[in-house]
Amino acid sequence: MTTAEQRPAPILSAITFAVTVFTVAPMLVSVTAGLVNNYSVGGKSGFTLRWLDEVWSQYGSTAWNSIGLALACVAWAILAGVPAGYALARSRSRLARAFEELITLPVAVPGLATALALILAYGQWRGFRQSFAFVFVGHAVFTLPFMVRTVAAAFARDELIAIEEAARSLGASFGQRFLAVLVPAVLPSIVAGALMVFTLSIGEFNLTWMLHTPLTRTLPVGLADSYASARIEVGSAYTLVFFIIVLPALWLMQWLATLLGPREERRTA
């Protein structure tokens, strides 16, 4: 139960509301533009779904491409990022610290530079260059650090170190300690990292724009193409399609993060 002392001050609530309106209002205007016959005339021209139909017929495949890439990035981030996060949390060597800094470089370096590096390194492999695997590699390189950082911080908690030592003293093998004790304990952090990876992958544009081909377009690339068309209504309708596809997935993952969160947080929510 939330007490009066725990409630935010009215001024903070007002600031939060104002910032939210300031952020969301442009999105609502853009979405509305995709539902009218003529944006320059406004609602007087009448509302229609023709632009949504046009967008889906031309760019519908990009939605499934982005969702597939994002889910593949989440799977890769869990398989590679969780063990890497554990290794970084337990290691005290300088090499581990250097690796931790190295793995964050794709986040600091502009996506265009990362994409150019991938093209120079692997672009001569024509089959690979023209496949979704090439775009996936770019997304995986960009999103993996967020999972590693998130779970590494969770694994480094003092109570988990103590629990692991207790399991070791009771004769548990490394596999038993890692899979049966540690992973369940940091599951909320893994879900939070997965949510971050999914969000970043599905909305990534700069890197994808350099790596994609006409057959490997994603949602953001298709969105840029639609805004380059002659009618603003097409681009705005595409924005609405983007929200329809992405928001339910984000809400589902947010719900999972809340469901798997600490019991104390659920009791006070």
pLDDT tens profile 84-110: 999 998 888 888 777 777 888 888 888
Q: Tell me, what's the pLDDT at 72?
A: 95
pLDDT tens profile 143-178: 999 999 999 999 999 999 899 999 999 888 988 999
Radius of gyration for the alpha carbons in the chain, expressed in angstroms and rounded: 22
Q: How many CA atoms lie within 13 A of 235 on its CB side?
A: 16
Task: Report domain extents, the chain.
Answer: 55-268
Are the C-beta atoms of residues 235 and 55 closer than 8 Å to each other?
no
pTM above 0.85, yes or no: no
Q: Of the CATH numbers 1.20.1260.10, 1.10.3720.10, 3.40.50.300, 1.10.10.60, which one belongs to the domain with range 55-268?
A: 1.10.3720.10
Q: How many CA atoms lie within 13 A of 15 on its CB side?
A: 5
pLDDT tens profile 247-265: 887 788 778 777 766 544 4
